[in-house]
Amino acid sequence: MAWREKTAWITLVAMGVTYGVYFTLISRQSLSTLSMLELFAVVTVLQVIAVVTVTSVLAALSSEEARAKPDERDRAVARRGASIAYFVLIVGVITVGVVMPFRDSGWRLTNATFFALVIAETVRYLTVVVSYRRGWHG
Amino acid sequence: MGEGRVINQLRTLRFLAGEMTQAELGAKIGVTRQTIAAIEQGKYSPSLEAAFRIALALGKSLDEVFQWETEKS
């Protein structure tokens, strides 16, 4: 498995678990602003720690792969992921910034923005993983 | 022009070039072993520059390494 596919999997899983917990909790419970901020901070820190720890362990086990610069396939796959995620993000931004303000406000808008970012990033890493798995001829 | 895909003889030519490994070929042309594996499996079409580098590393012309296969409808 290519090094950048491994790191994409790590980020995807960590992001799915941590932000999955965050958005599930805030959608089911009515949290105060402070509780929500604390939960968001905890989730973000846990995600960063999980990604850094697992990536560091894998890098130590396969140091040569981890040190290698991205080659043309890595760059092509990354470009594809970013360009598809961009459109997802644009849809999210339009929804949050143009449509939602007519019926929502405050933290719902903030969380919807986070959600749009997380979905866009998830699509980016999913595209990367799928492109490595199934091939990409871009 | 009909649909088609790039096919290659990389695996055979590597074998004929002194059983060169994917990692060795990758190192020669500046890509990872996994990218050479992806090219061999038809999962990635290299850039024209990389294709020329591969052909050069194997001592072959470009069309001896890569061919265009038209899909039958």
For A77, counting Cβ atoms within 10 Å of its Cβ (0-12 exposed, 13-18 middle, 19+ buried), the class is buried
With contact defined as beta carbons under 8 Å apart, do A79 and A47 qualify?
no
Position A63, amino acid: S
Per-residue model confidence (pLDDT) at position B1: 59
CA distance A46 to A18: 7
Token digits for A79? 């470009």
Around Cβ A105, how many Cβ atoms within 10 Å? 10
pLDDT-derived band of residue A135, with 50, 70 and 90 as boundaries? confident
Of A73, A134, A137, the CB nearest to B35: A73
Give the pTM: 0.86
Nearest CA-CA distance, residue A135 and chain B, Å: 4
Per-residue model confidence (pLDDT) at position A31: 82
Token digits for A115? 């959600």
Torsion region of B61: left, alpha or beta (phi above 0 gives left; psi -120 to 50 gives alpha):
beta
**Complex ipTM, two decimals?**
0.86
3-state secondary structure of A48: helix
pLDDT in tens, B10-65: 999 999 999 999 999 999 999 999 999 999 999 999 999 999 999 999 999 999 99
| Span A42-46, average pLDDT | 95
List, as ranges, residues 2-61 from B with C-beta within 8 Å of A.
5-6, 30-32, 34-35, 38, 41-47, 50
- Sort out which chain B residues have CB atoms less than 8 A from A132's CB and list them: 38
pLDDT at A106 over 90: no
Report which of residues A82 and B70 the model is more confident about: A82
pLDDT at B73 over 80: no
Per-residue model confidence (pLDDT) at position A2: 87
> DSSP of A32-45, one letter per residue?
-HHHHHHHHHHHHH
Q: Confirm or reject contact between A131 and chain B (CB < 8 A).
A: no
